[in-house]
Each structure stands twice: as C-alpha cells, then as structure tokens.
Structure 1
C-alpha cells in the first residue's frame, strides 16, 4: 500500500503545493525562505518520507504567510496520506542532541490536534526565518495533520542547532508514529 497525497492551497498571499509519500525517496523543497527549505528537507528525511514542497510568496510581507501555509498544506497531506490510520503505531517520541542543543518531541497521530511548546530562542531569526515561526509552523502542522505534538527544548545556545534538533526530533517521532505495526486501530475505543 502506497501512502501518499497531493495537496494544493492558493490564497491571496501564497501558492503552495505538497506531494508527500510516506516512504523514503527523493526530496525537493522550494520556498522563498532558505532556512525553512533546510528544515523541511530535514523533517521529511527524518520522517522516512519523500516528495516535494513548492511555495510562492505572492505578497512579500514577511515569512509568516509562507511558513503558515506550508505547514497547513504539509499537515493536510500527512493527514490524507495516513488514510484511516488503521494499523499505525500512533505514538512516537524522540530526543535529539545537536551539539549544545537538546530537543524532545512526542507525537500522537490519534486524530486530535493539540500543541505544546516549551522552549525559547535568544535571537529573532535564524538565517531568513523568524524564530517565532518555529512554534507557529509546528502548531499549524499539528492542527492540519490532526496530531498532538509536544516539543520541549531542553537546552542549547546556538539557535540553528536548537531549531534543527527540533525538526529532526519531530521527523523521527512522526516516523515512529506512522509505522504500520498491526491490522488494528491503536485505540481501546476501536476508532481513531
């Protein structure tokens, strides 16, 4: 069974297209925010997924609309690619060190969106990405993927390392949670 989805979103601010396959392969990311490209490639790679993300900024205000819309479309693609979620492990967690930084992420792909972020950044930007967009990206992704995501930044001094540790941990957690482990729904309710 190939778990995949193609989702497009067009607004007055952006045009976003995501092709996502929940299996390893080629990854192509093209948004106007170079550091976001790096983090999206990192996320998809550590998820054990593949596909492409293309985003165009139609207004050029700042990075907010692109980050938010990419997160919405990627989360929606994840939701669609998971299908009825029967047989997935559902839960995933990871602790990732990156030099001075340490990030913990736990996810539940049980169909309910929730988001918790415990951490802070000492700079306003990393490259051309606003650091306040990091939690906003993950919240928007969680809402659209119908996932619960907890992020805890346990340390770090280098902002690049902190952000990258978060995206790696999120990817590894999603990889674990989306694995097919049985032919049953992972819920005592019998449905997700």
Structure 2
C-alpha cells in the first residue's frame, strides 16, 4: 500500500494527515472550516485517495494558517506516499462540469512545483471560508507534493459550483496521475530516470 503520514506542529497549527493512494475514497476531515472540509472530502471521494485530516488551528486569528498548513501537510503526505514515483501514470487531466460551470485541471507529478491559476470568484466567502484562500490552498499542495498544476475555470457564474468543480477536477486528474500502469512496471516515468531535482 502506498501511504503517507504527516504530523506537523507549529505555534499556529497542529495537523495530522494520512493518505492512502490505493484507497476507495474514504475520508475523515476536520479542519475547523466547514467549506474546506467539504472540498477535501470531495477530493478524497473523487480521487479514490483515502484522506484523514485533523487540524487544530488558530482560527481565532483568521483562516490563513489553517488553510495553508493543512494543504502543505496534505502535499507532504502525498509526496511520501508516491515515493520515487515508479510505475505511476504521472499525468492526469479532467474536465469537470457542475451545472453552468466547467473547469479544466491538468496535473503532472513532475517533482517540479509550478501552478497556473485562471479562475476567479465574485464573492468574498463560501460559507465562512475566504475565497482568496482557495488559490493559495492549491499552490501550497503543489509546492509540497511536487506538482505542476494548471487550473482553469472555462466558464461559470455560481461561486460554489466553480470551487467544487475545480476540486473535483483536481481529484479526477490526481486519480489518473497516481494510478500504477502495469506496462511500466516500477520504471520512473521520465527519461532522466528520476522526477524532480
């Protein structure tokens, strides 16, 4: 089983994250931010990556540290579970519709963190979550998981639908990228013989 476990404790957050890349999409998410919980649950369910995430953050200040640090820890757990990345598909792509909204997410588990974000929100909050933190969440995951990540809102007007379609697209793209390809054996999918660095 390809699993990762991260315990991350600072003066701002205390976080425990576990992932299983070969799971069934089961989850147990408690960040203290309801809408963020909902989105990480969507990620788990649609990627089939099991995710446990427990966060005790300084929400009395604001949501920034909880959002950022939980994403950093999730990315670290994904990187640990991927190991040397031998045998993975590496690339994933998804078009994700939700009612009037359509998003496209493309991922390369390259070991070289880079993110392109082309989406926008027209309201400041979804639930109690600051929408400006959504882009930052994806940036933080891409940094520690070593993802090249392109996210594009093709169209859409409902802010909830835009956010959820992006998370579901990310999940489906990651499902493709982390799955093992029997034809590759344990070969690292790069002519360099390694990914990253």
Q: Same fold (TM over 0.5)?
A: yes
Q: Is 79-88 or 55-64 further displaced after alignment?
A: 55-64
Pair 1:185-2:188 in alignment? yes
Structure 1 equivalent of residue 48 of structure 2: 48
TM-score, normalising length from structure 2?
A: 0.94
Q: Structure 2: which 5+ runs fail to align?
A: none
Alignment of 1:150-189 (within 5 A): 150-181=150-181, 182-183=184-185, 184-189=187-192
Give the distance between the partners of 1:132 and 1:8, measured in 2 at CA: 26
Structure 1 equivalent of residue 36 of structure 2: 36
Contact 2:26 2:48 in 1 (8 A): no
- Runs of 4+ aligned structure 1 residues displaced above 6 Å come to none
Give the distance between the partners of 2:132 and 2:70, measured in 1 at CA: 15
Q: Is 114-123 or 23-32 further displaced after alignment?
A: 23-32
Pair 1:6-2:5 in alignment? yes
Alignment of 1:1-192 (within 5 A): 2-22=1-21, 23-58=23-58, 60-181=60-181, 182-183=184-185, 184-192=187-195
- How many residues were matched structurally? 191
Q: Is 108-117 or 21-30 further displaced after alignment?
A: 21-30
- Per-residue CA deviations over 1:133-176 (Å, capped at 9, x if unaligned) read 11100000000001111000111111000000000000000000
- RMSD between aligned alpha carbons? 1.0
Q: Structure 1: which 5+ runs fail to align?
A: none
Q: Is 54-63 or 26-35 further displaced after alignment?
A: 54-63
